[in-house]
Structure 1
């Protein structure tokens, strides 16, 4: 899968996951439908996590090949 495809796939999965969360939070699904939605949500979450892990690994490779230059990890709490 190409980078653009995996990013698009990630964005579509994330959007679908957000929709499932909204459905589950609405409390309007039957127990059976809620379980099916939850199961699908778990799969989508795993797929998204896989794409994020691959992206993180690519970033690590790029940082390691940056000829010894050291970049500091991003910490949003420090800003």
Structure 2
């Protein structure tokens, strides 16, 4: 079974991919492969963020409480 890669590791992989692309040392075929890899990483990061956003919204909605502003200090 494949190891689950953390958000931070995926982000670092994206940074490394970007550095490879910016180095101008890749031939066109390898540059296209790196670009495709980068797009997959970006999509994975967005998916992860959307999942976390949904979880946060759910918790926030469940725990939402009216705040009483009448007790000013």
Bucket of the pairwise TM-score, normalised by the shorter protein: 0.7 to 0.9
Task: Calculate the TM-score normalised by the size of structure 2.
Answer: 0.78
The count of aligned residue pairs is 65
Unaligned runs of 5+ in 1: 71-79
Partner of 1:54: 51
Give the Cα separation in 2 of the matches to 1:28 and 1:38.
14
Give the ranges of 4+ consecutive aligned residues of structure 1 lying more than 2 Å apart after TM superposition. 67-70
Measure how far apart 1:69 and its partner are.
4.2
Q: CA RMSD in A?
A: 1.9
Structure with larger Rg:
2
Give the number of the structure whose residues are more often helix, by fraction. 1
Task: Calculate the TM-score normalised by the size of structure 1.
Answer: 0.73
